C-alpha cells in the first residue's frame, strides 16, 4: 500500500512547512501486509480483501 502526504487535504493545523507542495510530495510511506493461513482461517479474509480492493 502506498501513501503520500500530498494525497491528503491541507488542514488548518498544518505547519507552514507541511503546506509546501514539494515537502508534501516528499513524505511517503509504503505498508507491507503479511499474513499466515491462520489469519485467513480466523475470519480476517474479508477484511483483508476489503482493504486490498479499496486500496486502503
Band the pLDDT of 14: cuts 50, 70, 90.
confident
Q: In total, how many domains does the chain have?
A: 1
Range(s) of the domain holding residue 9: 2-53
Band the pLDDT of 1: cuts 50, 70, 90.
low
Do 48 and 56 meet the contact criterion of CB atoms below 8 Å apart?
no
Q: In the numeric block, which cell numbers belong to residue 16?
A: 507552514
> Using alpha carbons only, what angle is made at residue 37 by residues 42 and 35, rounded to the nearest 5 degrees?
95
Query: In this predicted model, what pLDDT tens digit does every residue of 21-49 receive, in sequence order?
Result: 899 889 888 877 777 777 777 777 788 78
Per-residue pLDDT, 6 = 86
Amino acid at each position: 500500500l502506498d501513501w503520500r502526504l500530498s494525497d491528503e487535504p491541507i488542514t488548518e493545523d498544518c505547519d507552514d512547512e507541511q503546506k509546501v507542495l514539494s515537502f508534501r510530495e516528499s513524505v511517503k510511506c509504503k505498508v507491507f501486509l503479511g499474513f499466515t493461513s491462520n489469519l485467513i482461517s480466523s475470519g480476517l479474509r474479508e477484511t483483508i480483501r476489503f482493504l486490498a480492493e479499496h486500496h486502503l
